[in-house]
Structure 1
Amino acid sequence: MSTPKTGPLAGCKIVEFDAIGPVPLAGMILADLGADVIRIGRPGTEGKYGPGDKILQRGRHRIALDLKDPAQRDQALDLIANADALLEGTRPGVMERLGLGPDDCFARNPKLAYGRMTGWGQEGPLSQSAGHDIDYIAITGALGAMGRKGEPPSPPLNLVGDYGGGTMFLALGVLAAILSAKSTGQGQVVDTAMTDGASVLMSMFYAFHGIGMWTEEREANLLDGGTPFYRCYETKDGKYMAVGALEPQFYAVLLEKLEIDPADFPQHDRSNWPNMVQRFTESFASRTRDEWAEHFEGSDACVAPVLSIAEAPSHRHNAARQTFAEHDGAMQPMPAPRFSETPAAIGETRDLTVEEALALWS
């Protein structure tokens, strides 16, 4: 059998149903933190990995069940009977039609944290509509605030909807429901919608907008590239440096490192910002990215090199903290956050038979 897991969630048992988007990442994070996760996939997936699965399905036990078969559905319920939580990412109503909805599962396990992940939520006018990250963040105000002025909004990968508004709220909600069940003896449904989570992530910007500190025009605000001291600049070799010198003391260091007289560019003189942008652009274009990175490293100018996915693992700070490492033949991010007494670690990924999985939790 596999080595017992470590981490703050050691002993926590979670059933994860095959899904795309936020659910696999939530399962990965919970498994990294020590939870014993059994992932139920479709028949024919045994021993197989799709693109990204080597990372996103790490640290799990994997089994295959045909959930439309009543006998195999009952085997899933046998696992759920011994679980602390369940993760699923189907459209509303699908799990109920399979006989695996909340009522079916609570009948076997009243303390279950039933984690549901959708884009639009379990109810509402769009709940049965298809969608993706870009659609979910479009109606929250998030997407409309991103990108260049006068151009279409820029999708922020799928970090804001799928992973920020989805995965993180699903994991938080499920853990909160587990804690609640331990004190009350009562399980509950965790209805996680990417539209809800992404809206919560926008809280500060709604606060700013409400007091007139945020306009609807892109590249006209503090954190959207509208300020010369919070944006990226191209370097001599066609790469980029990220500048985030928001506070006056950091802005002062930025000017010092760029050898610019502070008297020429008072930080919040908006009328002079176009000239400031031009000066910063010319300065950064005079050296390569790596030359600037060395020049700024260790200072309080809040300047960093913009690295590619291929480059990031080799950055000396990431290397020193072992933020990335090769595991199972793939370079991948290591577990986070870090715990002083119960360190998280990547567990073994194993394909089990249903009988082995049931025996594991018996």
Structure 2
Amino acid sequence: MEKEHAQARPNGPLAGIKVVEFAGIGPGPFCGMLLADMGAEITLLERAGGTFASQLFGGGRKAVANRGKKSLCIDLKHADAKRLVQQLVDDADVVLEGFRPGVMERLGFGPEECLARNPKLIYARMTGWGQSGPLAPRAGHDANYAAIAGVLDTGRHHGGAPWAPPTLVGDMGGGGLVLAWGIACALLEAGRSGVGQVIDAAMCEGAALLAHGLFNLEALGEWQGQCALDSSAPFYDVYECADGLWISVCPLEPQFYRTFVERLGLAADPAFAGQQYDAQRWPAMKVRLDGIFRSQPRAHWESLFADTDDCVWPVLSMKEAPEHPHNKAREAFVDIAGVTQPAPAPRLSRTPGAIRRPPPLLGENTRECLTQMGLSAAEIDRLVESGAVSLPRNA
């Protein structure tokens, strides 16, 4: 699979778009990965000591969010390095940064300075709270942003069943994905107007945006306690099986619910007959279903519902998911540099996304990037000697 994805592919829809990404953690790198998957040329500016992200998630080839990027190891505070960054920004379509408000300005690469030099530039800023407001200068993480957005509270569940995966709501969905959407919109508009702009993406606001449907239910007075989606309903929940594995049960529609109870032999049971959405029955129904699913291993329930539309599917671990027949058939996961990871998405018929290179080692492309900028070998050697840039170890 790795060999296949290393082969030449059609140019992605963002081919020719140049992005300067200031290395960070979480949603910023993920946003850059999405752009790289779709063909953008990403120059990743990394510092010699790496980042907290490289310590937490692993650096080099294991840093999945850096796939498709080139690593230029550079000291942003060095005078010579600043001139190099300015040159990169002058030639870029997008600048991507995820520092706290004010950091880029102090480094001399704030949006005012950069747009003055490159009026068509899209300056994409990723923060937890946004560039303004009382929380703007404060630290936070995924669950904090989801909490303030009113979204974390919606993940309540009785018991310790799998329900709310970490980092997805605030960091990746509300952060990186929303920022990538903003960049795509801004690039499209800049192509018409010839003028760039600044994108202020806040994870807190993105998390709230993802939860628009839940706010819809809240407005209708249908959220929490008697809602089909909040784990109150017996037909929208996860159940533990006899082997300690879990099954997801989601037959919301009446026609699916009807065949679901038939498969379980409950069609004539008074507790399951009648109105599916009679919330007064739900607690007793849930207890009954809990006992039923605990009576057999997960494989039994997979087999029982395999040919139905009853919306009953296994809760797979990250190790199991790549081996599921559906995921294998669609090549939903790929192996790059020995790391199994999700393939680019969504799928475009004419200009598909692709992983064009594995995640780079720290500074792996320093010399390549500087050469492409027009620097001679002697000039590069001088920059290395001064500490303005760094080459990979043993290079």
TM-score (norm 2): 0.85
The CA distance in 1 between the partners of 2:76 and 2:117, in whole Å, is 17
Q: Which residue in 2 is equivalent to 1:167? A: 176
Q: Which has the higher contact order (CA 8 A, sep 6+)?
A: 2
Does 2:307 correspond to 1:298?
A: yes
Does 2:85 correspond to 1:79?
A: no
CA RMSD of aligned residues (A): 2.3
Runs of at least 5 residues in structure 2 that lack an aligned partner in the other structure: 1-6, 375-395
The answer (yes or no) to whether the contact 2:232–2:282 under 8 Å persists in 1 is: no
Aligned partner (choices 236, 245, 250) of residue 251 of structure 2: 245
Does 2:18 correspond to 1:13?
A: yes
1:276-330 C-alpha deviation (Å, 9 max, x unpaired): 1122122212221012112212310001001111111111111111111211111
The CA distance in 1 between the partners of 2:365 and 2:156, in whole Å, is 48
Query: How much has 1:356 moved relative to structure 2?
Result: 2.7
Aligned partner (choices 46, 49, 68) of residue 59 of structure 1: 68
Query: How much has 1:231 moved relative to structure 2?
Result: 0.2
The CA distance in 2 between the partners of 1:360 and 1:183, in whole Å, is 28
Q: Secondary structure at the match of 2:341?
A: strand
Does 2:193 correspond to 1:184?
A: yes
The answer (yes or no) to whether the contact 1:7–1:342 under 8 Å persists in 2 is: yes
Q: Which residue in 2 is equivalent to 1:38? A: 43
Q: Which residue in 1 is equivalent to 2:206? A: 197
The CA distance in 2 between the partners of 1:70 and 1:231, in whole Å, is 58
1:100-249 to 2 correspondences below 5 Å: 100-148=109-157, 156-215=165-224, 220-249=226-255
Q: How many equivalent pairs are there?
A: 355
The answer (yes or no) to whether the contact 1:80–1:109 under 8 Å persists in 2 is: yes
1:124-145 C-alpha deviation (Å, 9 max, x unpaired): 0011111111111111110112
Query: How much has 1:43 moved relative to structure 2?
Result: 2.4
Amino acid at match of 1:89: G
Query: How much has 1:271 moved relative to structure 2?
Result: 2.1
Aligned partner (choices 340, 356, 369) of residue 357 of structure 1: 369
Amino acid at match of 1:237: D
**Percent identity among equivalent residues?**
45
Q: Which deviates further from its counterpart, 183-192 or 320-329?
A: 320-329
1:143-176 C-alpha deviation (Å, 9 max, x unpaired): 112122599xx86411100011101111011111
1:79-122 C-alpha deviation (Å, 9 max, x unpaired): 11111111100000000000000011112211011000000100
Q: Structure 1: which 4+ aligned runs deviate by more than 2 Å?
A: 2-6, 43-46, 48-54, 148-151, 349-356, 358-362
The answer (yes or no) to whether the contact 1:32–1:346 under 8 Å persists in 2 is: yes
**Taking structure 1 as reference, are residues 299 and 52 closer, same or farther at Cα in structure 2, changes over 3 Å only?**
farther
The answer (yes or no) to whether the contact 1:79–1:358 under 8 Å persists in 2 is: no
The answer (yes or no) to whether the contact 1:16–1:86 under 8 Å persists in 2 is: yes
1:189-223 C-alpha deviation (Å, 9 max, x unpaired): 000001111111121111211121224xxx54221
Q: Secondary structure at the match of 2:115?
A: helix
1:5-45 C-alpha deviation (Å, 9 max, x unpaired): 72111111111101001011111111111111110000255
The CA distance in 2 between the partners of 1:298 and 1:111, in whole Å, is 54
Aligned partner (choices 28, 35, 45) of residue 33 of structure 2: 28
Amino acid at match of 1:286: S
Q: Which residue in 2 is equivalent to 1:89? A: 98
Runs of at least 5 residues in structure 1 that lack an aligned partner in the other structure: none
Aligned partner (choices 257, 261, 277) of residue 255 of structure 1: 261
Amino acid at match of 1:82: D
Amino acid at match of 2:290: T
The CA distance in 2 between the partners of 1:61 and 1:30, in whole Å, is 13
